[in-house]
Chain A
């Protein structure tokens, strides 16, 4: 069964460093998303991406964040200068259309020290 994959599973970084989280969405999906979940809190929407551009973003997704689809299979989230409060699980998701079910990856646990 097709699934969303994410790498790495755990990333530890120093405050102020740049990190890139990677995702491989389900191959025939056209819509891609990033969410995050701070420990013990709700899953929060960050950004959606369709047709090589951002279609929607939340207030959390400020200038420190960027997304890219560098090739036909990968989808990345970059945080330019990490802060302590960026520590969270980051989930990538994909869907076949904008209002269909979204399938989530296993997540990347980001720890900022």
Chain B
């Protein structure tokens, strides 16, 4: 069975304090790994897709990387508006996404 584990569960940062979120996964085969942002009471908002080990994607203060067993989401110099829950999801084959429990990031001004 597909397993996705995200750590830490919660992360409190000072504005400007860079950090990384981890997503480790166990799947029979990986078609893609996806990062989403979710604000309270809202739907997941797509951030990145990674398809192969070594791949990196960047968007503003966020950078996602992928290895054969895990992915990292690096947040550089975060701002309060980066506060959200960040979700990792794996797709072992077409269609279904299997989500992790998420990391809730709080950035204090």
Residues A101 and B96 in contact in the complex (CB < 8 Å), given A42-B101, A43-B44, A106-B43:
no
In contact, A105 and B43 (Cβ under 8 angstroms)? yes
B30-46 contact mask (Cβ, 8 Å, vs A): 1 or 0 = 01101010000111111
Contact of A55 among B41, B49, B91, B94 (CB under 8 A): B94
Give chain A's interface secondary structure class.
strand
Within 8 A of A (CB), among B63-109: 87, 89, 91, 94-102
Give the chain B neighbours of A16 by CB distance below 8 A: none
- The count of chain B contact residues (Cβ–Cβ below 8 Å) is 23
- The count of chain A contact residues (Cβ–Cβ below 8 Å) is 27
Residues A101 and B34 in contact in the complex (CB < 8 Å), given A91-B43, A106-B42, A107-B43:
yes
Shortest beta-carbon distance from A67 to chain B in Å:
13
Give the chain B neighbours of A89 by CB distance below 8 A: 41
In the bound complex, what is the Cα–Cα distance between A44 and B2 (angstroms)? Answer: 12
